[in-house]
Amino acid sequence: MAVIPEMRRPTPTDPPEAPRQTAAGRVLSVLDAFGPRHRTLSLSEISRRAGLTLPTAHRLVRELVGWGALERGADGRYSVGLRLLELSALAPRGLELREAAFPYLEDLHQITRGNVHLGVRDGLEVVYIEALRARVRNPVSSRVGDRWPMHATGTGLVLLAHAEPDLQEQVLQSSLERFTQLTVVDPAELRRKLAHVRQTGVAVARGQITLPDLVVAVPVLGPDGEITAAISVVVETAAARPRELAALLTQASRAITRALRPHQQVSPERPTPRV
């Protein structure tokens, strides 16, 4: 009589794996464990956040390190590898936009001395595809690849205000994360704010993620005349002049739009007012 080998029972520390998860899905779950607030992770943290058993996480992490998608630091913790940076640079949606926008974002950065962002919508979040950080130390992460909920960021408010109604309702009916006591998490108040952004073409938000900061953002139109991205400047509230910032952003946005249009002479005009 054949003896059926006994299968190892999951231990209390083993997270349950997602049912019917494919091999590709498990690999993606490992990569998805990383984020702006989780830039480095231990193997056990990857296992827990990816919903994988420790042996499965260990095997996949080892393969990803070998391929260059992950890197292991001297402390034994893992971070995203340079191979993924190489691949992300090939994304046509972001590369052309970044190249067209960078000279004008750099000018905004020099003039305003604030954090400057170029964001696009991905699902229910805004993703920074370009970010220029102020020299002063800022408690908020402001890097390429950072993701934030749309209701709490200037670029996100612009993109959400001009999104299709179904997507707006999906966000309004979701659990809106609060970062400070000023973060707008009431759906009715957020709905009014989005209407104001559509009316004025500018999003102005104070203390939504950190209290000392003010953000001003405007949309960027693509060659087809549709909103393809948003740009923003984040400065300390005490030094903020929202109207001047909005004028600078609008000027830069128009220049980026012209740069995105093929076979069209781009004006060398750059933002010049100082704030």
pLDDT confidence of residue 87: 82
Nearest to 147 by CA among 48, 37, 45: 37
Residue of 6 and 241 predicted with greater confidence? 241
Q: Is the pTM of the predicted complex or chain greater than 0.75?
A: no
For residue 7, the model assigns a pLDDT of: 37
Architecture of domain 91-260: 2-Layer Sandwich (3.30)
Intra-chain end-to-end CA distance of the chain, in Å: 85
Residue 94 has what pLDDT? 67
Same fold for the pair 23-86 and 91-260: no
- The set of long-range contacts for 22-28, using a CB threshold of 8 Å and a minimum separation of 24, is 26/50, 26/52, 26/56, 26/60, 27/60, 27/63, 27/64
Q: What architecture is domain 23-86?
A: Orthogonal Bundle (1.10)
pLDDT single digits (tens) 92-123 = 666 788 889 999 999 999 999 899 999 999 89
Partners of 120 in the β-ladder: 127
Higher model confidence: residue 143 or residue 92? 143
Q: List the Cα angle 155/159/200 in 5-degree steps.
A: 85
Decide if pLDDT at 204 tops 80.
yes
pLDDT value of residue 132: 92
- Confidence class for position 3, pLDDT limits 50, 70, 90: very low
Domain boundaries, the chain: 23-86, 91-260
Q: Predicted confidence band at 195 (pLDDT cuts at 50, 70, 90)? A: very high
Each residue of 213-272: pLDDT tens digit? 899 999 999 988 899 999 999 998 776 789 999 999 999 999 999 998 863 444 445 555
State percent of the chain over pLDDT 90: 63
Q: What is the pLDDT of residues 36-46, one digit of tens each?
A: 778 899 999 99
